[in-house]
């Protein structure tokens, strides 16, 4: 063989030696799995954040319990009050947005116009802004009048607006949308709910077609639902308007489905004769939260001392996984509808269902009544949810009950204001256990990812976890002895086991988790992918 041929063969062998792997690639155990309807079986598919409000993910609790948590009212409440001459009856119904890009809070709140006797009621709409959600300013919007009133749709009887920014809208002039009630001819004969559009939330125009939805005499709360690809609105039942909660939906924001009733009175509402003024919905991840103004015992008579809740409103929590079927939430979490009319100590259940209670009589500014402000998206700042509400230091029908006292027609009206309360992110309902300890075992579920994030407070205690197969048999390497205990307060704990850098071996197959708690609380569980899973190609 000539030198040139020998060189060519040598070079070729060298080239192919570089292409071939030096050794077989060892794939990490459990990285590849087949997933189909047989492997999934009856397991729940968990993709997003799971709260512990209902039993969808929870199979059993032993020595642990579910508990409704209350938000903390801000020490500087009320954060906004009437201090301008044009703010008649303010603050009324309101909507609060937060823009993470501009880091600006905006609050639209209704005031009332003085109308001739016999004419239908009518409102104005004012705008306030804030950088921190606590200190609010009222910028001059209308330079002619020197007020912070926005330009509302030019329709007689404007009131009860609910506002949101539409993330799907391509027409800049319709980026902000509103549902509002009105009476175009100025009488109750034409009460209706209609649509408004705005490019900036300040300059509003009404849709050409006005009579779209039957009239709702409390705030209408619309939002875009990314799951159903529909606009959804929560509003009052009727006509005739009744203190129940209804729902409607639309594909184009103009053609709305007939109302369905989603919240009616049950045995839970008998002890305090509870009715529902309004509900402010809030899409929250893959579920829906509702804050409902629960109005207790309408009366125009003096209040008996043994019925302190009479003619007052507090906020109760509602929960849904589809925005259509809603569950009432009590001290022990979601109450299945079939239990709401069964025998129970409903007076106790009703007392303990207060999510945001009214204040202490004659001590707190909001002792008389509270109502929710609408937040179309969760407002989360420093891992705490901002919840806004209207409160006043007087009962609902204070002019009749004399509370606060009204000795003459010129007596001062109750003071109103907007309050702020904050709640730990995901903190609506917790699973907790005391010093004796307890467990929560999940139903079989399947997740995709390499990690599970637990929002939990284990200060002064600990949480350990064991992974089981769908039948409840411990999985090797993921038992209780290998679980790394959680002993701190963190909204983003990573579950981990000794000998495993992540949880990719648990993904893609039905598993159960059994949490062991001692002096600890858990709020949510979320699948995550946190690492890069690259494997070198080979022949």
Domain termination residue (choose one: 405, 426, 447): 426
Please indicate, yes or no, whether residues 251 and 175 belong to a single structural domain of this protein.
Answer: yes
Please indicate, yes or no, whether residues 399 and 491 belong to a single structural domain of this protein.
Answer: no
Residue 28 falls inside a structural domain: no
Cβ atoms of 109 and 90 closer than 8 Å = yes
Question: What is residue 309's predicted lDDT score, i.e. its pLDDT?
Answer: 92
Give the chain's domain count: 2
Q: Give percent of the chain above pLDDT 90.
A: 80
Lowest-pLDDT range, 35-44, 110-119, 199-208, 437-446?
A: 110-119
- Report d(CA 340, CA 447) in Å as an integer: 33
Please indicate, yes or no, whether residues 270 and 333 belong to a single structural domain of this protein.
Answer: yes
- Output the DSSP codes for 260-295: EEEE---GGGTTTTEEEEEEEEEEETTEEEEEEEEE
**pLDDT tier at 11 (50, 70, 90 boundaries)?**
very low
Residue 265 falls inside a structural domain: yes
DSSP code at position 190: G
Residue 481 falls inside a structural domain: yes
267-291 pLDDT, tens per residue?
A: 999 999 999 999 999 999 999 999 9
Q: What CATH code is carried by the domain that includes residue 511? A: 2.60.120
Mean pLDDT in residue range 2-11: 49
Question: Which residue in 380, 355, 354, 358 sits closest to 369, CA to CA?
Answer: 358
Lowest-pLDDT range, 104-113, 285-294, 402-411, 437-446?
A: 402-411
Task: With a cut of 90, say whether residue 411 has pLDDT above it.
Answer: no
Tokens of 4: 């040139």
Domain termination residue (choose one: 426, 450, 478): 426
- Report d(CA 163, CA 171) in Å as an integer: 17
Q: What CATH code is carried by the domain that includes residue 189? A: 2.115.10.20
Domain termination residue (choose one: 403, 426, 449): 426
Residue 19 falls inside a structural domain: no
* Domain boundaries, position 438: 37-69+430-528
Q: Give percent of the chain above pLDDT 70.
A: 94
Please indicate, yes or no, whether residues 217 and 356 belong to a single structural domain of this protein.
Answer: yes
Please indicate, yes or no, whether residues 148 and 246 belong to a single structural domain of this protein.
Answer: yes
Task: With a cut of 60, say whether residue 13 has pLDDT above it.
Answer: no
Residue 424's CB is within 10 A of a number of other CB atoms, namely 19
Give the side-chain half-sphere CA count within 13 A for 157: 22
- Report d(CA 99, CA 201) in Å as an integer: 13
More confident residue, 30 or 165: 165
Cβ atoms of 104 and 131 closer than 8 Å = yes
Residue 228 falls inside a structural domain: yes
Please indicate, yes or no, whether residues 50 and 81 belong to a single structural domain of this protein.
Answer: no
Please indicate, yes or no, whether residues 298 and 393 belong to a single structural domain of this protein.
Answer: yes
Please indicate, yes or no, whether residues 227 and 102 belong to a single structural domain of this protein.
Answer: yes
More confident residue, 527 or 404: 527
Strand order of the β-sheet with 104-112 is 94-99, 104-112, 123-130, 136-137
Tokens of 285: 């991840």
Tokens of 108: 């639209």
The structure's pTM equals 0.92
Residue 217 falls inside a structural domain: yes
Judge residue 522's burial from the number of C-beta atoms within 10 Å of its C-beta, 0-12 exposed, 13-18 middle, 19 or more buried.
buried
357-402 pLDDT, tens per residue?
A: 999 998 999 999 999 999 999 999 999 999 999 999 999 988 888 7
Residue 319 falls inside a structural domain: yes
Task: With a cut of 60, say whether residue 345 has pLDDT above it.
Answer: yes
Residue 2 falls inside a structural domain: no
Please indicate, yes or no, whether residues 55 and 185 belong to a single structural domain of this protein.
Answer: no
Please indicate, yes or no, whether residues 60 and 79 belong to a single structural domain of this protein.
Answer: no
- Report d(CA 294, CA 261) in Å as an integer: 16
**pLDDT tier at 12 (50, 70, 90 boundaries)?**
very low
Please indicate, yes or no, whether residues 138 and 265 belong to a single structural domain of this protein.
Answer: yes
**Cβ-count burial 221-230 (b if 16+ within 10 Å, e if not):** bbbbbeeeeb
Please indicate, yes or no, whether residues 135 and 102 belong to a single structural domain of this protein.
Answer: yes
Cβ atoms of 450 and 510 closer than 8 Å = no
């Amino acid at each position: 063989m000539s030198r040139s041929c020998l060189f060519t063969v040598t070079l070729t062998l060298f080239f192919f030696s570089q292409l071939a792997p030096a050794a077989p690639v060892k794939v990490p155990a459990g990285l590849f799995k087949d997933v189909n309807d047989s492997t999934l079986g009856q397991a729940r598919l968990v993709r997003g954040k799971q709260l512990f409000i209902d039993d969808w993910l929870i199979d059993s609790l032993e020595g642990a319990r579910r508990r409704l948590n209350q938000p903390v009212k801000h020490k500087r409440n009320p954060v906004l009050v009437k201090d301008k001459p044009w703010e008649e009856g303010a603050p009324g119904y309101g909507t609060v947005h937060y823009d993470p890009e501009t880091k600006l809070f905006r609050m639209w709140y209704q005031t009332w116009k003085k109308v001739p006797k016999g004419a239908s009621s009518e409102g104005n709409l004012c705008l306030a802004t804030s950088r921190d959600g606590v200190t609010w300013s009222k910028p001059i919007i209308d330079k002619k009048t020197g007020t912070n009133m926005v330009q509302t749709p030019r329709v007689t009887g404007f009131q009860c607006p609910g506002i949101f920014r539409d993330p799907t809208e391509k027409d800049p002039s319709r980026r902000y949308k509103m549902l509002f009630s009105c009476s175009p001819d100025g009488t109750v004969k034409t009460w209706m709910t209609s649509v408004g559009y705005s490019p900036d939330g300040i300059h509003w125009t009404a849709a050409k077609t006005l009579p779209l939805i039957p009239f709702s005499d409390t705030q209408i709360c619309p939002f875009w639902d990314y799951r159903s690809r529909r606009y959804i609105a929560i509003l009052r039942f009727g006509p005739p308007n009744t203190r129940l909660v209804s729902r409607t939906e639309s594909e184009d924001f103009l053609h709305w489905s007939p109302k369905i009733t989603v919240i009616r009175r049950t045995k839970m509402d008998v002890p305090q004769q509870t009715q529902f003024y309004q509900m402010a919905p809030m899409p929250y991840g893959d579920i829906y939260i509702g804050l409902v103004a629960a109005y207790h015992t309408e009366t125009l008579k003096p209040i008996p001392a043994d019925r302190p809740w009479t003619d007052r409103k507090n906020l109760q929590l509602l929960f849904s996984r589809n925005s259509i079927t809603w569950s009432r939430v009590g001290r022990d979490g979601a109450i299945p509808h079939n239990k709401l009319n069964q025998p129970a100590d409903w007076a106790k259940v009703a007392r303990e269902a207060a999510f945001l209670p009214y204040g202490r009589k004659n001590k707190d500014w909001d002792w008389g009544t509270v109502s929710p402000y609408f937040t179309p998206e969760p407002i989360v700042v420093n891992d705490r949810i901002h919840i806004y509400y209207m409160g006043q230091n007087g009962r609902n029908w204070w002019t009749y009950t004399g509370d606060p006292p009204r000795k003459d027609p010129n007596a001062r009206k109750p003071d109103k204001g907007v309050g702020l309360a904050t709640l730990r992110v995901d903190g609506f309902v917790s699973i907790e256990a005391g010093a004796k300890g307890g467990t929560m075992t999940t139903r079989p579920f399947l997740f995709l990812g390499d990690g599970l994030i637990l929002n939990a407070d284990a200060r002064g205690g600990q949480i350990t976890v064991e992974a089981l197969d769908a039948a409840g048999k411990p999985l090797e390497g993921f038992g209780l002895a290998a679980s790394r205990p959680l002993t701190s307060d963190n909204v983003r704990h990573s579950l981990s086991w000794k000998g495993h850098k992540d949880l990719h071996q648990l993904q893609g197959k039905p598993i159960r988790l059994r949490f062991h708690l001692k002096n600890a609380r858990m709020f949510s569980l979320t699948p995550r992918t946190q690492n890069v899973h690259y494997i070198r190609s080979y022949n």
